[in-house]
Homo-oligomer: A and B are copies of this chain.
Amino acid sequence: MPTLSQRIQDLHASPIREILAVISKPGMISFAGGLPAPESFPELDLRAVPRDMLQYGASEGETALREQICLDLRKTGLHCDPSQVLVLSGSQQGIDLVGKLMVDNGTLLALENPTYLAALQVFRFFGARFASLDRQQPEALLKQADKPALCYVIPTFQNPTGYCYSQQEREVLAAACERQGVVLFEDDPYRDLVYDSCDRQPVCSLMQSGQWIYQGSFSKTIAPGLRLGYLVASKELLPYLTRLKQAADLHSNRVSQYLILQALQHPQRMQRITALQASYRSKRDEFAAALQQHLSEYAQWDLPKGGLFFWLKLRQHADTGKLLQQAIAKGVAFMPGEPFFHTHQGHSYLRLNFSHADAAQMRKGMQILQTVNWHML
């Protein structure tokens, strides 16, 4: 083998990838991924795509889409200018770009523990060290001598925990980042998947000054196969991110940009979102009832107010990797908790997705899970 870069040593196979390989088997019931329900995808008028969308385009993205994103963000409380918007090939790309922008070998990042595992993977790849952010008092970490360069958070329906920050927690975090001069990177893919009343104002919108990056996704409410997301950043950071975007893939897919704009400007858009929320709320409630019936002896959880996941804490310690092997052998997949933690803990957590399986699969999957040996160490 040739000499590969040092960072490749830290590039482990993604657990999601391995599990996705398994769940493509026919008959497998998957609570593993974060896949939207296929029936939620809108009808897209593909015939209407203008032919000039087939030519090269701008790295920043289509002007009309950037304007629409600003209009939508204004309703959340985040006021920005279209020039601050960068259209992404999915919000995973935003994590790669921010990693490139901020992370050298040894750079300290503040983040929730557990957090989105593919963000851990990317940041680790660029050489980051991690420190766990305490929601109650984030400033303690941000002001320490070994100062984090970046604070990465998912305040709204966090992945994997489903937690949603209160307004006060949002204000405290914004103020801490501002006072300590730490860049805030807010990842917000789930905000429209809300089922119960809760605070959802972007933390970035609460910063009066300082540097911030906010990113959103169209994968959860429109269609992941179109691979489109966006980020908005404070004015000083955006030019760097745009150059990084250009170096990464020149610009985002223009047919997707056109289709997404069409979906965002569709007269029935709000009705569609409301119907999607109602459908997922009902799925969540059925899932909670089935969990209660089949797994309450082995695990506990909070009802998530939004997002796509239940986060289960096992009542007794068990090796979730072995639990997963056993469950897969019986035809059900889930995500073990461990890869979501940057510390070596998490052996006793599972993440279960409730959006993808239909009602019959869900009930059958729960019955199967009940038969797993939950005390396996």
Q: How far is the CA of A225 from the CA of B122 in the complex (A)?
A: 27
Whether A2 pairs with B225 at a CB distance below 8 angstroms is no
A281 within 8 A of B: no
Q: How far is the CA of A268 from the CA of B7 in the complex (A)?
A: 45
Whether A118 pairs with B247 at a CB distance below 8 angstroms is yes
Closest chain-B Cβ to A210's Cβ sits at a distance in Å of: 8
Given known A52-B38, A54-B223, contact A90–B249 (CB-CB < 8 A): yes
A211 within 8 A of B: yes
Closest chain-B Cβ to A271's Cβ sits at a distance in Å of: 19
A274 within 8 A of B: no
Given known A14-B246, A90-B249, A247-B122, contact A183–B56 (CB-CB < 8 A): no
Closest chain-B Cβ to A299's Cβ sits at a distance in Å of: 27
Binds B, one of A98-106, A303-311, A331-339: A98-106
Closest chain-B Cβ to A231's Cβ sits at a distance in Å of: 13
Note all chain B residues with C-beta closer than 8 A to A49.
46
- Write the A8-35 contact mask toward B (1 if CB under 8 angstroms, else 0): 1001011001001000000000000101
Whether A4 pairs with B89 at a CB distance below 8 angstroms is no
Note all chain B residues with C-beta closer than 8 A to A52.
38, 225
Cβ contact of A5, chosen from B102, B248, B250, cutoff 8 A: B102
Q: How far is the CA of A51 from the CA of B121 in the complex (A)?
A: 31
Closest chain-B Cβ to A345's Cβ sits at a distance in Å of: 23
Q: How far is the CA of A236 from the CA of B2 in the complex (A)?
A: 10
Q: How far is the CA of A62 from the CA of B183 in the complex (A)?
A: 38
Note all chain B residues with C-beta closer than 8 A to A54.
38, 41, 44, 223-226
Whether A225 pairs with B253 at a CB distance below 8 angstroms is yes
Whether A253 pairs with B256 at a CB distance below 8 angstroms is yes
A244 within 8 A of B: yes
Q: How far is the CA of A93 from the CA of B250 in the complex (A)?
A: 8
* Size band of the interface chain A makes with B: 35 or more
A92 within 8 A of B: yes
Whether A227 pairs with B125 at a CB distance below 8 angstroms is no
A149 within 8 A of B: yes
- Write the A81-117 contact mask toward B (1 if CB under 8 angstroms, else 0): 0000000011011001000111110010000000000
Cβ contact of A250, chosen from B6, B92, B240, cutoff 8 A: B92
Closest chain-B Cβ to A253's Cβ sits at a distance in Å of: 5
Closest residue on chain B to residue A11 by CB atoms: B243
Whether B2 pairs with A183 at a CB distance below 8 angstroms is yes
Whether A17 pairs with B89 at a CB distance below 8 angstroms is no
Whether B35 pairs with A1 at a CB distance below 8 angstroms is no
Residues of A within 8 A of B (CB): 1-8, 11, 13-14, 17, 20, 33, 35-36, 38, 41, 44, 46-47, 49, 51-59, 89-90, 92-93, 96, 100-104, 107, 118, 121-122, 125-126, 149-150, 181-183, 211, 219, 223-227, 236, 240, 243-244, 246-256, 259
17 A–B contacts, CB within 8 A, in A order: A2-B149, A4-B102, A4-B240, A7-B104, A38-B52, A38-B55, A46-B49, A54-B224, A90-B250, A118-B246, A225-B254, A226-B255, A227-B249, A227-B251, A227-B252, A227-B253, A255-B255
